[in-house]
């Protein structure tokens, strides 16, 4: 059973929808509810509630059902959380992070770096040579920078993520 009390899920939801959005998720009843009712019980603006619900919907963490009022013809959206999809959403985020780490690792392995001795910035060889190995920000010299620690850190992080998947 998935619980939004789990710190990992809370952290993911907070990153996804923010503190107010997390409060909305915590306040949602288990059965269907209108966005107006959620705004009422949370004291959060209707626009924020709707934005949060649609964001959750985009990540398959909420679903809705439309009902048409026979008298007015207005549509009413009835929302339900799908917390059972949190594991899948977290796995998708982990896979996206893994792809970004693979790209970064490739970049680090494929380039030679030079860094400002004053600590301003780091440059690839082409940029450093275009600037005559002088920092364009502060005028200090640029020195060759070994990036083995960066590469090993990325590889370790990728290993940890792969093991968790």
What integer pLDDT is reported at residue 117 of this predicted model?
96
State whether 97 and 148 are in the same domain. yes
CB burial string 27-65: b at 16+ within 10 A, e below? ebeeeebebeebbeebebeeebbbbbbeebeebebbebe
Domain end, chosen from 54, 85, 116, is at: 85
What integer pLDDT is reported at residue 140 of this predicted model?
96
What integer pLDDT is reported at residue 2 of this predicted model?
57
Kindly give the parts of the chain with pLDDT less than 70: 1-2
Tell me, what CATH number does 23's domain have? 1.10.10.10
User: Is 39 within a domain?
Assistant: yes
State whether 96 and 159 are in the same domain. yes
What integer pLDDT is reported at residue 120 of this predicted model?
93
State whether 114 and 103 are in the same domain. yes
What integer pLDDT is reported at residue 164 of this predicted model?
82
What integer pLDDT is reported at residue 64 of this predicted model?
97
Residue 81 and residue 9 in contact, taking contact as beta carbons nearer than 8 Å:
no
First-residue to last-residue Cα distance in the chain: 19
What integer pLDDT is reported at residue 165 of this predicted model?
80
User: Is 2 within a domain?
Assistant: no
Which range marks the domain in which residue 66 is found? 7-85
CA–CA separation, 1 vs 109, rounded Å? 42
């Amino acid at each position: 059973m998935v619980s939004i009390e789990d710190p990992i899920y809370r952290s993911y939801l907070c990153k996804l929808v923010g503190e107010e959005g997390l409060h909305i998720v915590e306040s949602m009843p288990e059965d269907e509810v209108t966005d107006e009712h959620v705004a009422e019980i949370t004291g959060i603006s209707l626009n924020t509630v709707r934005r949060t619900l649609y964001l959750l919907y985009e990540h398959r963490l909420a679903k809705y059902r439309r009902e048409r009022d026979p008298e007015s013809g207005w549509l009413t959206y009835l929302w339900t959380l799908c917390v059972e999809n949190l594991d899948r959403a977290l796995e998708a985020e982990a896979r996206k992070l893994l792809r970004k780490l693979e790209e970064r690792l490739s970049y680090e392995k494929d380039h030679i770096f030079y860094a400002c001795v004053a600590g301003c910035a780091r440059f690839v060889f082409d940029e450093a040579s275009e600037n005559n190995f002088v920092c364009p920000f502060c005028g200090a010299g640029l020195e060759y920078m070994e990036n083995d620690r960066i590469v090993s850190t990325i590889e370790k992080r990728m290993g940890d993520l792969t093991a968790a998947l």
